[in-house]
Amino acid sequence: MSREHISASSLRGYLWISPAAAMLILVLALPMIYSLKASFTASSLLSPGSEQDFVGWSNYWQTLTDPEYRMAVVTTVAYAILAVSIELVLGTFVALMLNETFFLTPVLRSAWIVPMVVTPAIVGLFWILLYDETHGIFNYALVKLGFSPVPWLDVNHAFTSIVIMDVWQSTPFFALVMLAGLQSRNEEILEAARVDGASPLQCFYYLTISHLMPYMLIASSFRIIAAMGDFDKIYMLTAGGPGLVTTTLSIQTYKVGFNTFDIGRTAAMAWLFLLIVLIISGPLICYLGKTSDAER
Amino acid sequence: MSSTQKALLKKLVVTAAFFGIGVFYLIPYIWLVLTGFRMTVDTLAIPPRFIFAPTFSGFKYIFGPVRFQWYLLNSFVIASIATFVVILVAAPAAYALVNLGIRAKTFLYSIIVARMIPAVSIVVPIYLMAIKLGLLDTYQILIAIYATVNLPFAIWMMRAFFRDVPPSLREAAIIDGCSEFRVFRSVFMPISAGGALATAVFVFIACWNELLFALVLTNSKAATAPLAMVNFRTDWGIQWNAIGAGAVVLSTPVIVFAVAMQRYLIRGMTMGSVK
Amino acid sequence: MGLTRRGFVGALAAAPVAANAFAEQAVDAVPPLSRKYAGTTLRVVFGTGSSWDAINPVSQEIAAAAGIRLELTLANYNDRYSKMILDASSGANAFDCYALAYQWKYEAAQFLADLGDADKIEGAAPLDLADYPPNLLDAYGKVDNRLIALPLIGDVTFFVRNMEAFKGAKLPLDPPPKTWKEVFTNAQKLKSNRWIGYSMPAGKSIQTAVIWMLLLHENGGKYFDAKNMPQFNSRESLDAIHFMTNELESVSVPDNLTWDYPQVVTAFTSGQAAQSMIWASSFGTVVDPTRSEVSDKVVWSASPGGSLLGGWGVAVNRRSRNLDAAKFWASWLTSTPMTRRLVPLGGTPCRRSAYKYPAFVARYPQYPAMLAALEGDLLTYPPVPQAEQLHIVIFDELNAAIARTKSPEQAAEDMQHKAMDFMTKRGLIRQ
């Protein structure tokens, strides 16, 4: 192709991408820039005129030195990583299961889609009942099986409970991604390896797992980012309590924004939030970028 | 027993086992559905009443005084239009990234970063912007936001599907004299129709289920269904029968949708960037 | 298109079964109203739940009778607050009226219109302010000599006990408990495999703070001293925290650390807790057989330690684009005849005349007790601007103390420290 043709292509390319770019700038970038400016002021909705009140780094400093903020960071990161790790393992098992041959395949596979698509806010709201110590069916089942009831939403268990809730909702996502991975496996290589005398364990590890690796990376990076921003279902279930054990960064940001209407502080928290998510998911994304490029 | 009979038996046993596991996993959802057909006092009974007198009181309540159907209509209109807009904007963008030789890497990284921004961070600035533009409590503002927030995901997905299309097809078409647009419209889109559909389903579900923006940016005219659900947690008690009924109504179309698109979904979820 | 309602019948269907029969008796009809405001659209921030569900159709009827189009935005407690503040402070002024909880009135007052002369608006209803218990009217609507809200839902803390539990533990039902100590000793005796002694909330919600407030008052404590300094680490406050953390918690349901009001009521109505404090407006739920297992086993009395005032008023945005229409509608919604209309539908009134109305007293035996509470030793939430912030401080620390993540002493100190911070930042005291 001639050079002109290539440049014209590029120009057209930018044209084709411009609506998307425009939307992203208007709806995402502009508010973030506004946020950035506001984060250096004492802007508060309850004090008109406070947007002009320049305070430098004080909002950031106050946030970073606030022990409750640091707790929220730990809670958020722990929640995301713990939940995703469990979902990855569980999801792979479910995928292996769904990959077998059986009857009613579409029905059985479709069933797993359900938790993924139920509104997260409803999940959070309804699991209040499921986790209820006396009215909930979880404890009813435990007691029937001979165990003692668990106070799911008390200070020692609430964090685990929100992880379990997310595992329930998001494992199907991992399962279905892994299933796609398993189905794109090259059966011949597997067969050849078995014929060559490789043990099932070796087959599994070297062939299946390594084949699934990119799928795992995609699903994990997608879900870690989403989990760190999870708001609806945690807020509905515990509103961040008891104490601060389930207060994630998004819940804390919401509270500062909508209870105190302290815009400056909220804005600082928003930018710090972005930074933290970048730090946590960055390595994963980079690795993903490298491997997908290598394939090309 | 012959070996085929053994294989059949194995299949049956496996089916039964997986069916059981599936039902077990879905117990939270099943219980939610049952709650919609019970009176609240039955839902809260200790020990749980598995046998109860079914009632439609929850449904009567939500479609009566609460006028849930209006919320549903709002949700449907907003989600549909937003999804349409997303595909309309994301597909050409993805095509450009794959075929039109622009600096893909920067754009791709910036949309990954864009996806990391949680709703909480931008909702107040957007509220203030919406006021200035007079767009509070309108369809337009939610459509604009939902479409934009789902763009990164949609672009990523469509790009993956477009990368699956053999480059030779495009080259052949161009040599034949087709414009890029023609190639896009008549070659790539038809081939990736399944992928586009899967993307649309995901985006629709995300819009359908969204809470925070709807909460802050709408009041009475454009309020969406999840807001009605949240309001069943009243000052004086949680109306479980309404929550159950609402959840059934809200989740059924989405489940039907997703299940119908199942085939594409499973393919699409790998986002195609793995072969 | 909007969420306008014509479904009066629908609302009746949602109201308690027993009240239906009562509603068929003659109730005050909506009188013919001035058509001066016909064609206006009024937008109101509204609530959800039994009392609001009752007021909803009547608000629509009043609006319809005047040719006004009413758009109600239903929101839960926290959202009502944020919607009001966001709307008024950002200059959006999308709303004409707000549901106002009196604890918000100080910071909201700057955005609200004076309703003292609302009855001078053409076609408005007479305000009949003398019909309200004076403490209530003051608490709900008065800020700096302006009347910034008209009382709408009257609510006060109330105490309920389960007859069956008391009989089972061979405890007398009369006289009702006058102090929290009595509540506790009863609870200890009531506590068994079958019963929880007391349904205490310990979640991060205002309900938990309410218990502390009642205990503080009973101990003789105050929120602030004469110079406005917080007294949250006073002896009285510390005793209250101790009592909640040790005594009351020991007879409550263990997982109450995320409890908000619904769980408190549910514990009682499902026959789990033998005693509970409730808001009087929930009384209808407690005696409704379709919503309560214990509907025929309830005895009630005033809450120990005093009666804390709750409830809601209706306020008008001072920058409303339909100021007169809004005042007109608000005056009718809170008027004496319309208050009477609301009662059979499940509304809880603020007006003395409603509490004394013979048909209502016959139907709702708790009314004399409620009126006595509203006219008597009424407590209010801390009377400072942005009191919600103080409530958050209080219930956060209480929650931590009860969860045993800090000692009651530490909780009291932290409460005091945060309260001092808050009061200083808001310029209410000087450190």
Q: Average pLDDT, stretch A177-191?
A: 77
Predicted pLDDT of residue C5: 34
Cα separations (Å) of B189 from B80, B170, B182? 19, 12, 10
Predicted pLDDT of residue C23: 45
Q: How far is CA C151 from the centre of its chain?
A: 11
CA neighbours closer than 13 Å in the CB half-sphere of residue C162:
29
Q: Classify domain A63-295 by CATH architecture.
A: Orthogonal Bundle (1.10)
> For the range C185-194, what are the long-range contacts, defined as Cβ-Cβ under 8 Å and sequence gap of 24 or more?
C186/C274, C186/C275, C187/C248, C187/C251, C187/C274, C187/C275, C188/C251, C190/C165, C190/C166, C190/C251, C190/C274, C190/C275, C191/C251, C192/C168, C194/C165, C194/C168
The residues pairing with C230 across neighbouring beta strands, listed in sequence order, are C224
Q: Average pLDDT, stretch C166-186?
A: 91
Predicted pLDDT of residue C250: 92
Helices (H) and strands (E) in chain B, counts: 16, 0
Burial of C14 (0-12, 13-18, 19+ CB in 10 A): buried
Cβ within 8 Å of residue C371, ≥6 positions away = C133, C352, C355, C356
What residue ranges define each of the domains in chain C, with the CATH number in brackets? 8-155+310-375 (3.40.190.10), 157-308+384-425 (3.40.190.10)
Residue C430 has pLDDT above 80, yes or no: no
Band (A261; pLDDT cuts 50, 70, 90)? confident
Q: For residues B210 and B225, give the distance between their C-alpha atoms in angstroms, rounded to a whole number.
A: 9
* Chain A residue numbers touching B212 (CB-CB < 8 A): 231-232, 254
* Chain B residue numbers touching A106 (CB-CB < 8 A): 259, 262
Search chain A and give the residue with CA nearest B251.
Answer: A118
Task: Tell which of C43, C48, C51 to mutate to test the B interface (max B CBs under 10 Å).
Answer: C48
Cα separations (Å) of B250 from A122, B73, B114, C292? 10, 11, 28, 28
**pLDDT top residue among C255 and A169:** A169
- Whether chain A has a CB inside 8 Å of the CB on B118: the answer is yes
Predicted pLDDT of residue A23: 94
Query: Of the CATH numbers 1.10.3720.10, 1.10.287.70, 3.30.930.10, 3.40.640.10, which one belongs to the domain with range B67-268?
Result: 1.10.3720.10
Q: For chain B, what are the domain ranges?
A: 3-59, 67-268
- Whether chain B has a CB inside 8 Å of the CB on C94: the answer is yes
Q: What is the DSSP letter of A203?
A: I
Burial of A65 (0-12, 13-18, 19+ CB in 10 A): exposed
Search chain B and give the residue with CA nearest A218.
Answer: B270
* Chain A residue numbers touching C404 (CB-CB < 8 A): 155
User: Which residue in B39, B60, B238 is closest to C13 by CB distance?
Assistant: B60
Q: Give me B137's structure tokens.
A: 């409590």
Sequence letter at residue C417: H
Predicted pLDDT of residue C8: 30
CA neighbours closer than 13 Å in the CB half-sphere of residue C171:
24
Of B226, B188, B190, the closest CA to residue B206 belongs to: B226
Search chain A and give the residue with CA nearest B93.
Answer: A17
Predicted pLDDT of residue C321: 93
Predicted pLDDT of residue B270: 60
Length of chain B: 275
Q: For residues A75 and A43, give the distance between their C-alpha atoms in angstroms, rounded to a whole number.
A: 28
Contact A242 C266 (CB under 8 A): no
Written as one string, the DSSP assignment of C54-99 is HHHHHHHHHHHHTT-EEEEEE--HHHHHHHHHHHHHTT----SEEE
Task: Tell which of B107, B117, B151 to mutate to test the A interface (max A CBs under 10 Å).
Answer: B117
Contact A181 B274 (CB under 8 A): yes
Q: Give me C333's structure tokens.
A: 């919604």
- Whether chain B has a CB inside 8 Å of the CB on A184: the answer is yes
CA neighbours closer than 13 Å in the CB half-sphere of residue C36:
13
Which ranges of chain B have pLDDT less than 70?
Answer: 1, 265-275
Q: For residues C123 and B38, give the distance between their C-alpha atoms in angstroms, rounded to a whole number.
A: 46
Q: Give me A187's structure tokens.
A: 């059966």
Band (C324; pLDDT cuts 50, 70, 90)? very high
Search chain A and give the residue with CA nearest C398.
Answer: A243
Written as one string, the DSSP assignment of C184-229 is HHHHHHH-SSS-BS-----SSSHHHHHHHHHHHHHTT--SB-TT--
**pLDDT top residue among C64 and B100:** C64
User: Which residue in B11, B238, B269 is closest to A180 by CB distance?
Assistant: B269
Residue C112 has pLDDT above 90, yes or no: yes
Give me the interface pTM, i.e. the ipTM.
0.88
**pLDDT top residue among C8 and A138:** A138
The rounded mean pLDDT for chain A is: 85
Q: Is B245 helix (H, G, I), strand (E, B) or coil?
A: helix
Residue C90 has pLDDT above 60, yes or no: yes
Question: Above pLDDT 70, what percent of chain C?
Answer: 94
Q: For residues C143 and C151, give the distance between their C-alpha atoms in angstroms, rounded to a whole number.
A: 14
Of B69, B38, B66, B64, the closest CA to residue B52 belongs to: B38
Q: Give me B147's structure tokens.
A: 């479409």
Contact C1 B233 (CB under 8 A): no
Helices (H) and strands (E) in chain A, counts: 15, 0
Residue C20 has pLDDT above 80, yes or no: no
Work out whether the CA dihedral C287, C293, C299, C304 comes out positive or negative: negative
